[in-house]
Structure 1
Amino acid sequence: MKRQIIDTIERYDKIIIHRHVRPDPDAYGSQIGLKELISLNYPNKKVLATGKHEHTLDFLARPNTVLDEDFKDALIIVTDTANTERIDDERYKLGSYLIKIDHHPNDDAYGDLLWVDTNASSVSELICELFAEAKVYKNWTMDATVARLLYAGIVGDTGRFMFQSTTEQTMNFAGQLLAYGFDRTELFNGMYEVESNLLQLKGYIYANFEMDDNGVGHMKLTRELLKEYNVSDSEASLLVSVLADVKGMKCWVFFIEDTDTIRVRLRSKGPVINTVAKKYGGGGHPLASGASVQSWEEADLVIEDLKKL
């Protein structure tokens, strides 16, 4: 499969890489890391990364401006995106051929060529695996720019190597990336330093979250609350994992009110919770999933479903 992907990349002069909406470090790491990797090894190809930019990832990279005509006869690669509804930039349909590279459950098997490995910690790790094959197969090289992006993606999706998805292969690839000598301090500052208002909201969450006797927790962040702390919905999403530190917490849900919907962010230390996400039109990993609901009454139903679980 990896050689098929490499051969397909070689056949196309134009390549446009997509990822999911509301990107995280693995979305940018895999998408833009792959873009930079291909550009480094095939400088005559036009390789673009598309999608709406997430300002909290300014430190990491920025996608390109992609025109409609760029899609004509282009190879489309979609990274880190489980289903077509979550692909950022619907113009992926205008391309000539589509490759899906992902590590979420393959509930939506879209694409002409699919490489899905749910055992991988991140899609950035899969891009490392693709590079390892291409290094032998086609003499590909990597530089510090690519390594920095892929490392950020791995670190982000493993929770700094604390999640169960971290494997010996994950650590081996991370160690290989470090050999390229990028500034880890600068990268970690970008990933984990936050403004004081976000820390104040974190304090509010610690003071006001609810957890029942069975270890099911929840936190509701309304538009009014986010406005009070001057925090955007995307910034608030950075705090979803803070309840992992609570002793006795088995699974939890954050509700973050956006302009037209309420984002549902589910996390777990053991119980499989993506079944709940799927019930509400979402999905994701067994222990980290997302969905959306339209009202606070519907949000309460999510909480009840977690309690039943």
Structure 2
Amino acid sequence: MRMDFTIILEETILKRQIIDTIAKYDTIIIHRHVRPDPDAYGSQLGLKELILANYPEKKVYAVGEHETSLSFLAMPDEIADEVYKDALVIVTDTANTERIDDQRYTKGKMVIKIDHHPNDDAYGDFRWVDTTASSCSEMIYELFEEGKEVANWKLSDASARLLFAGIVGDTGRFQFPSTTVKTFKVAGELITYNFDRNQIFDGMYEMDHKLLNLQGYIYQNFKMDENGAAYVKLTKELLAEFDAVPSEASLLVGCLGSVKNICAWVVFIEESDQIRVRLRSKGPVINTLAKEFNGGGHPLASGATAYSWEEAEQVIKRLQEVCATYNV
């Protein structure tokens, strides 16, 4: 119990430190990771809306390259270099500096890291990292709860909508093991706000006909060994055949999770200069494997990079070894 209390106390201090720091700065710039997913947008833009709801006089920006598949959520801002002068920079949902979208984050006066991935890269002037959180969006809601207590913060409908989307995205509609009792409680609070949940679900899960065809290809062509280690390769030529781009193919990574007896799987998505390695698991920890190939992430959902199909074969071999050991 003492250990749990200590963790709670430390997190409370960190959250209050973040709240106090936000209150002091006139300009706040929020970053997130490259190739954003709903939680990246949800935590980043949800935090922006949260701050604006409580400090409307502040200048708050959310930056990074826009992902068109997430247009239904929001649009990031474009700002000049000089805006960073004397600004507070907050980076959400990003484990390491290499994955921060827009490397100008170093130009601000102070950097805060808020993240739920393993803290392998402890960047920033101070950081709040909670690997037990289902999503970074869940953490932003916790920040609101603390702000409500100490600074009478309020949560806007716009912020609630974005945080809900982020939680839904990173929990796979509350199906992933990272979903906790706290996650359901937070989601239950968020849906009391005024936003269209159907619009969020449609935006996140409706697919073009071409992607459904590509999903069919994945189901028909993935390979799985006797230990449940599976893989499928989506080459540039194959993506062109289905008129799909890598970011669209990434939306299909989770579909193999419905395969009976699957243990862990990898989807290779070839880009112009590298091969994206998308790893998912139903049991064995695979973020350590991802680190072997220029990546990282969560224990059951990680990403990495291969620079040739020969290297991709090494990933497959290692995944098969991991599943074989897990099934012993």
> Which TM-score applies when normalising by structure 2?
0.94
Q: Distance in 2 between matches of 1:86 and 1:36?
A: 23
Q: Distance in 2 between matches of 1:143 and 1:117?
A: 24
- 1:307 corresponds in structure 2 to 320
After superposing on structure 2, the runs of 4+ consecutive aligned residues of structure 1 that deviate more than 4 Å are: none
Are residues 1:194 and 2:211 paired?
Answer: no
- 1:108 corresponds in structure 2 to 121
Are residues 1:163 and 2:176 paired?
Answer: yes
| Cα shift readout 1:230-263 (whole Å, capped 9, x = no counterpart) | 1110000000000000011000001000111100
What residue identity is the alignment partner of 1:185? N
- 2:141 corresponds in structure 1 to 128
Q: Distance in 1 between matches of 2:18 and 2:201?
A: 31
What residue identity is the alignment partner of 1:57? L
Shift of 1:40: 1.1
Q: For 1:146, what is the secondary structure of its paired residue? A: helix
| Cα shift readout 1:134-166 (whole Å, capped 9, x = no counterpart) | 011111111211111000000000000001111
Identity of aligned residues (%): 65
- 1:93 corresponds in structure 2 to 106
- 2:17 corresponds in structure 1 to 4
What is the root-mean-square deviation of aligned Cα atoms in Å?
Answer: 0.5
Q: For 1:105, what is the secondary structure of its paired residue? A: coil
Are residues 1:224 and 2:237 paired?
Answer: yes
Q: Distance in 2 between matches of 1:274 and 1:186?
A: 32
- The count of aligned residue pairs is 309
2:150 to 133, 137, 149: 137
Q: Distance in 1 between matches of 2:153 and 2:69?
A: 31
| Cα shift readout 1:270-295 (whole Å, capped 9, x = no counterpart) | 00001110001110001000011100
- 2:294 corresponds in structure 1 to 281
**Where do residues 171-250 of structure 1 align in structure 2 (5 Å cutoff)?**
171-250=184-263
| Cα shift readout 1:150-187 (whole Å, capped 9, x = no counterpart) | 00000000000001111111000101000002111111
**Where do residues 75-86 of structure 1 align in structure 2 (5 Å cutoff)?**
75-86=88-99
- 1:55 corresponds in structure 2 to 68
Q: Distance in 2 between matches of 1:291 and 1:29?
A: 23
What residue identity is the alignment partner of 2:133? A
What residue identity is the alignment partner of 2:275? I
Are residues 1:22 and 2:35 paired?
Answer: yes
Q: Distance in 1 between matches of 2:200 and 2:64?
A: 22
What residue identity is the alignment partner of 1:71? Y
Q: Distance in 2 between matches of 1:169 and 1:66?
A: 36
Are residues 1:268 and 2:281 paired?
Answer: yes
CA contact (8 A) 2:49 2:156 kept: no
